[in-house]
Homo-oligomer: A and B are copies of this chain.
Amino acid sequence: MQLSRRELAVLLAPVPGMARPVSLNEDSNHFWVNRRKLRLTRELIRQWVDQYANTLVGELILNVNAMRSSFPSKHRETWFSGFDPNGGAGQAFLRPLPEQARQTWFEWIRCAWQANEDKLDLYEIWIPEIRRQKMSPWVSVRMNDLHNVDQEDHPLHSSFWQQNKHLRRVTYREEQRDKALDYSKPEVRNHNFRYIEEVCERYDFDMLELDWMRFGFHLPPGKENPQILTDFTLEVRKLLNLWQKKREHRIGLAVRVPSTPTTSLQLGMDAVGWARQGLVNYVTPTNFWRTVDNNMPIDEWRKLLPKGVTLAAGLELGCNAFPGSVGTGGKAWQSNSLETARGSALSYLRMGADKIYLFNYMDSDTSLDDVSQYPPLLKQLTSPTAARRHVVTYKDTWAPGEQTNHSLPVTLDTGRYAAFRLQTGPKANNCRVRLGLSQSNVAVRLNGQLLPTGKLVEPPKPGPNLSVYEYVAGATGDGANVVELTAQEPTRIEWVEIAIP
């Protein structure tokens, strides 16, 4: 390809925000839900950006859809398609919802409807404002959203999904992921490509993200030929090349994909291949939802991706130790705290991540359990000398038939031992090992060193629903650490962390 001097200048122009370490995703209905009691104005919408200015956030990633679109699309329903603004909470459209949820839904959908009546478009307002505040505006398209698919008539769904059951990924079972659309079908690819075209026409963003991790499953089991999504990615890249000329600035292509190269490829997402072919220039490996995965092979991703491709470690909001785990105080789900998120971030930056990508870390509702930590999170997530916690969690997305694993829970008989490997980022002194145990008669080692008897401490948040014992240790290893625990009586282990003061 021959480039003119002007085209070259466009491609080589510095990208705003790249020097800052955090990218942050805002989902497509969070703003409506949280601001549902307000009659929105241009200024109220604009103000949302202010909280991210002069923080660690370099990219604000605006997700514009689930199955439906958050802007009024020509090609698929928007939130308020079929909604009656005067119909109240009891209207037919909302009837599939649980009764106690209908009023909230009525309000947020009316809020979106009203904004549209008032000619207010979130993204049209946010995109220039994000640039003005020296960040980079992106648009993110969810490629296969499956919220609430257990209910066929739920108001979140598109008619395309409802009416084309034959286009679903698995037709012989009824689990959530079975109901994803099947990208081996041209109708599915066209449906989504048309929407992407519309997004490009409407909005002048720096980067388009294809969010393949909502919900991660796009092809039938055993038929995950990676060429299918590679061809699709190529078409999207070509489309962006056209818009790049029109907009007179570079438009990048980003992807969110499963947390390991193997799982990603086995699910048909050849992120490494896309990057090596120059189709994508920003890759975010990530868990799907219930917990951050603190064991992603970010160092391996870094080696596999070309140098010029930005590697972001994707952090989910949750911090939960194993499938079905119950957290401190009996909670079925718990969010990260600033300290646990910092642990993940520092560990991944040391392993070679260029960026930390925050997903579901929004300013309210879907946010930290202690939302007062949100402003400090945005400014101090990556502070290398501040307190941090490195927690054993698990990987939640696997290809069909792939061998799954998780470290916890473990039940040990007397005399048996278990070992846990934790990536803890830069070396630090005076660390503490914290264990959630059914009983305290155990011997604990960190990197071979026997630790003094642990003491019972207040359960941390997030933490386990068992007693927590803390063991004073010396310095962490540089990078990885091994905690070994030998039971002197039968012991159940539900939580393992290394805390750095």
Chain A residues near B (Cβ < 8 Å): 170, 172-173, 220-225, 261-262, 265-266, 272, 295, 297, 299-300, 303-304, 394, 399-407, 417, 419-422, 445-448, 450, 477-478, 480-484
Complex Cα distance, B420 from A405, in Å, reads: 14
Instruction: Indicate whether A303 sits within 8 Å of B272 (C-beta atoms), given known contacts A221-B484, A401-B421.
Output: yes
**Chain B nearest CB, measured from A320 CB (Å):** 15
**Chain B nearest CB, measured from A491 CB (Å):** 17
Instruction: Indicate whether A223 sits within 8 Å of B478 (C-beta atoms), given known contacts A303-B304, A401-B420, A420-B401.
Output: no
* Chain A to chain B contacts (Cβ below 8 Å), 17 pairs: A170-B448, A220-B448, A221-B447, A221-B448, A222-B447, A223-B447, A225-B478, A261-B297, A262-B297, A262-B300, A300-B304, A400-B484, A401-B421, A401-B482, A402-B421, A403-B407, A405-B405
Complex Cα distance, B223 from A496, in Å, reads: 19
Known: A173-B417, A303-B304. 17 other contacts (CB 8 A): A172-B445, A220-B448, A221-B448, A222-B446, A223-B448, A225-B478, A261-B300, A295-B403, A304-B304, A400-B421, A400-B484, A401-B421, A401-B482, A401-B483, A402-B421, A403-B406, A404-B405
Q: Are A419 and B405 in contact (CB under 8 A)?
A: no
**Chain B nearest CB, measured from A501 CB (Å):** 20
**Chain B nearest CB, measured from A431 CB (Å):** 12
Complex Cα distance, B266 from A300, in Å, reads: 12
Complex Cα distance, B400 from A483, in Å, reads: 9
Q: Are B448 and A222 in contact (CB under 8 A)?
A: yes
> What residue of chain B has the Cβ atom nearest to residue A421's Cβ?
B401
Cβ contacts under 8 Å, A477 to chain B: 222-223
**Chain B nearest CB, measured from A222 CB (Å):** 3
Instruction: Indicate whether A480 sits within 8 Å of B421 (C-beta atoms), given known contacts A295-B403, A403-B295.
Output: no
Cβ contacts under 8 Å, A445 to chain B: 172
> What residue of chain B has the Cβ atom nearest to residue A220's Cβ?
B448
Q: Are A299 and B172 in contact (CB under 8 A)?
A: no
> What residue of chain B has the Cβ atom nearest to residue A175's Cβ?
B417
Complex Cα distance, B222 from A402, in Å, reads: 28
Across the A-B interface, give the 4 residue pairs with the lowest CB-CB distance, nearest first: A401-B421, A222-B447, A222-B482, A405-B405
> What residue of chain B has the Cβ atom nearest to residue A476's Cβ?
B222
Complex Cα distance, B223 from A224, in Å, reads: 39
**Chain B nearest CB, measured from A221 CB (Å):** 4
Q: Are A405 and B407 in contact (CB under 8 A)?
A: no
**Chain B nearest CB, measured from A261 CB (Å):** 6
**Chain B nearest CB, measured from A218 CB (Å):** 14
**Chain B nearest CB, measured from A405 CB (Å):** 4
Q: Are A482 and B261 in contact (CB under 8 A)?
A: no
Cβ contacts under 8 Å, A406 to chain B: 403
Q: Are B221 and A419 in contact (CB under 8 A)?
A: yes
Cβ contacts under 8 Å, A297 to chain B: 261-262
**Chain B nearest CB, measured from A295 CB (Å):** 7
Q: Are A222 and B481 in contact (CB under 8 A)?
A: yes
Complex Cα distance, B172 from A262, in Å, reads: 36
Cβ contacts under 8 Å, A399 to chain B: 421
